[in-house]
Amino acid sequence: MTYSIVARQALAGTFVLAFLLLGSCKENSSKPVVSTLSIAVLPDDSSENLLARYTPLIDHISAFTGYKVNLVIPDSYQHLLELFGKKQIDMARFGGFTYIKANRDYGAKALVFRDIDAQFTSVILVRAESKAKTLGDLKGLRFGFGSELSTSGHLMPRQFLMDDKINPETYFSSVVYTGSHNKTAESVRDRKVDAGVANSDIIEQMFRTGQLKTSEVRILWRSPTYQDYLWAVNQDMDQQTARKIRDSFLVLPDGGNAEKVLLKRLGANYFLPATEADFVSLAEAVDTYEKWKNQHD
């Protein structure tokens, strides 16, 4: 198997550690290699958009591995965790927050992430005609997060706001959780909130596809970068299966036009092996938030 030059360079420092981590997945010679995989994706967008984005990837994984693959779209972030905990899915695309919980509670094993996931950002949206130009102009207005378990739609934006001495619960007139990034954007557009924070990647896609119009909403603020999404597998997955799935992602840059289209659809240039160590800073952010939440419940 070959990798593109840029992928090989990026993989050099992480491949060995990721390989060793996969070795910790349980290997049982008496256990037959799987023939069917259930793979879930974080429900951070509409079901229609998720199906359009991930069905080609599911087909690619199936063709590469030889396994039948089922795509699962959970009802919520919490539902995704419940499915993973009950081992009703073999693999999931998590946000950083949900991965930390799945890792701690259910032993989820990091597999791969996109090149852009190490430099992720969130954006705060306001309506196009809003007079707000800075975060300071949002004081006393209605504000929307996505899911409480969302990294880009809640956890990291909250941390950045708190770093700027902005406590959302006292700074804004009201705080709501819309449940997903597209719903946050729609809530701003439809005047249900005055401002809302969401995943920059999804918002940019919504602008490209016309689901959002610059005549309706605009970006007021963009966050510093942070680590976010990844794909992770159940701790009981055998090593051979985990490697096959991992490799189905890593070979994409060396494919033909269909693979290049697939990468573009996924918002990636290439994928990298992921390890638990890649999410140490994010785990610290989760701990900080949960400590704060316990003090204010």
Reported pTM = 0.84
**C-alpha distances in Å from residue 10, one per residue of 89, 229, 255:** 30, 18, 18
Phi-psi region of 179 (alpha: psi -120 to 50; beta: other; left: phi over 0): left
Measure the CA–CA gap between 115 and 272, rounded to whole angstroms: 7
**What string of pLDDT tens digits covers the 297 residues of the chain?**
333 333 333 443 444 344 444 444 444 433 446 689 999 999 999 999 999 999 999 999 999 999 999 999 999 999 999 999 999 999 999 999 999 999 999 999 999 999 999 999 999 999 999 999 999 999 999 999 999 999 999 999 999 999 999 999 999 999 999 999 999 999 999 999 999 999 999 999 999 999 999 999 999 999 999 999 999 999 999 999 999 999 999 999 999 999 999 999 999 999 999 999 999 999 999 999 999 989 887
Residue indicated by tokens 């007139």 = 173
- For the chain, domains (ranges, CATH) are 5-118+227-279 (3.40.190.10), 121-222 (3.40.190.10)
Measure the CA–CA gap between 261 and 259, rounded to whole angstroms: 5
